[in-house]
Amino acid sequence: MEDAKKETKKDNGVPHIDQAQKELMQNLAKEHGTPIFVIDHEKIRQNYKEFRENLPSVQAYYAVKANTDSQIIKTLFDMGASFDVASLPEFMIVHKNIEKLPDKERQDWIWDKIIYANTIKPIDTLQELNKYKPLVTYDNIEELKKIKEYAPDAGLVLRIRVPNTGSMVELSSKFGADPGEAADLIVEAFNMGLNVEGLSFHVGSQCTNFENYVQALQLSANIIREAETRSGHRILILDIGGGFPVKYNKQVKSFKTLSKRLNTEFKRLFPSDMQIIAEPGRFMVANACTLVAKVVGKAFRDGKPCYYINDGVYHTYSGQVFDHCNYPVHAFKTGEKQVSAVFGPTCDAFDTITLSAELPELEINDLVYSENIGAYSHASSTYFNGFPPAKVVHINK
């Protein structure tokens, strides 16, 4: 087990599991069966520390939607993280970690440590949230009217639309007020007797174009100045959202490079007492999880070997569909590699993981794995065709 804690090897900056970790994964598969989704909590702690060390003025609100596993929430809670939730069930997952606190401490914790960052909320959710008084986002006048009626005690954060160019998952077409309307929406909220705490944006998930952040920060600074002048109220919180890139491949620039750019812009554009928060999800968990699956079928089709494994795009590989992220399939066994197809277990041809894996010749019951698969993967698993999601196995808790 100690060997498994060694620092992950890197190829051109891309993290890969080492031989000791491969042996651990195979042993875990023997113990628990397959498929298994292995969560390394020490890696999550390392990621949180890296985020805080590089962005010391930014409080990390983990985006629970990236991976909702309750043990991940506990690990980050113990590290001092705050949380970004997008539904009432996500809110309650976090809430379970603070149930033992006295009522007053629990309320203060929620006010300081949770943001409900989905700009559109059902009425019954607003009614339930109001008693907790968390931060909630909005981006249009109709949502503002709902908040006024059903959650008037919440603190408000206006989300604006910013460039998402070059991000793997674009969000600006669905969320965010037009920057030209932003100050009006803030002033209107104050006129309605609501309390606008801050401004937020999101540059898109897995953002590799760092200019998105620069443009968004400049827009935010301009809007905050205008809103404060017109309303007579201070805007105390800036939420820079998520998008912090994971090094899935060598083309992705480092988080340290982005951090230096962000720290410079923070100092240039905002007062020293501005509370800056962020919503990292992928960054915290992507490289902390590994999937291990088993070959359950083998064929030769269209001139190449085809392997059928007991996990697929309706399960842990769902991120290939919803997150636009590819997870290479690797073999534990060695041998001359050839281009191969890998399919999931369901009876749907859509359940195709890859048509171009480089694999040695595999046999039924051989194990394969995919690494860096912790974000937007297992959280979206279904029971399609009756196949259950991979079993979750925790290490280094």
Supply the residues annotated as catalytic.
Answer: 347
Half-sphere exposure of 195 (CA within 13 A, CB side): 11
Phi-psi domain of 196 (left: phi exceeds 0; alpha: psi -120 through 50; beta: other): beta
Give Cα 265 distance to the centre of its chain. 24
Distance CA 178, CA 157 (A): 15
CA 20, 290, 253, 284: dihedral to nearest 10 degrees?
-110
Tally the residues of the chain.
397
Give Cα 106 distance to the centre of its chain. 25
Distance CA 279, CA 259 (A): 14
CA–CA distance from 172 to each of 118, 216, 319, 380 (Å)?
13, 12, 20, 22
Contacts of 373 (CB under 8 A, 6+ apart): 37, 286, 289, 290, 291, 316, 317, 319, 327
